[in-house]
């Protein structure tokens, strides 16, 4: 079980605490080794200088939503977080934000389509040249054109 708290629950400095279920009279014996409870205390997370290379910290920055600098670091370092943030903005944003996201998506699709089109032209030109100067030389030129695109 994962508990994400917007308050401090435990007296310890760590912002992520993993618990275990033990027998009261025999604290060294863990009953359910595969069942853990995690407490993530966001106020403690905010006070720390978290390592933003750590994927969990990246997600916590997004979930917390308090520190714009940490959020931007998470977005830059993690493609999945960037996509998730864009989707949340799209779903919760006003019409202008939605339109901007639609235009970004369209731009990306258009760019991929243009690259595929240029690639096919380069391949056709390479084959044309191959017919003129010999198939072997044309294929070589076609590959060279294709690698440029």
For the chain, the residue count is 149
The answer to whether 63 touches 51, Cβ cutoff 8 Å, is: no
What pTM was estimated for this model as a whole? Answer: 0.55
Q: What is the mean pLDDT of the chain?
A: 86
- What is the model's pLDDT at position 34? 82
Q: Does 132 have pLDDT greater than 70?
A: no
């Amino acid at each position: 079980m994962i508990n994400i708290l917007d308050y401090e629950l435990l007296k310890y400095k760590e912002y992520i605490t993993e618990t275990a279920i033990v027998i009261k009279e025999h604290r060294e014996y863990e009953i359910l080794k595969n069942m853990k409870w995690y407490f993530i205390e966001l106020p403690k997370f905010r006070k720390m200088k978290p390592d933003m290379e750590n994927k969990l910290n990246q997600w916590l920055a997004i979930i917390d939503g308090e520190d714009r600098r940490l959020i931007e670091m998470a977005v830059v370092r993690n493609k999945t977080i960037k996509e998730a943030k864009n989707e949340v903005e799209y779903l919760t944003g006003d019409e202008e934000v939605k339109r901007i996201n639609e235009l970004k998506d369209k731009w990306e699709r258009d760019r991929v389509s243009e690259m595929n089109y240029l690639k096919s032209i380069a391949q056709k030109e390479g084959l044309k040249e191959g017919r003129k100067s010999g198939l072997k030389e044309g294929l070589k030129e076609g590959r060279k054109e294709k690698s440029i695109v």
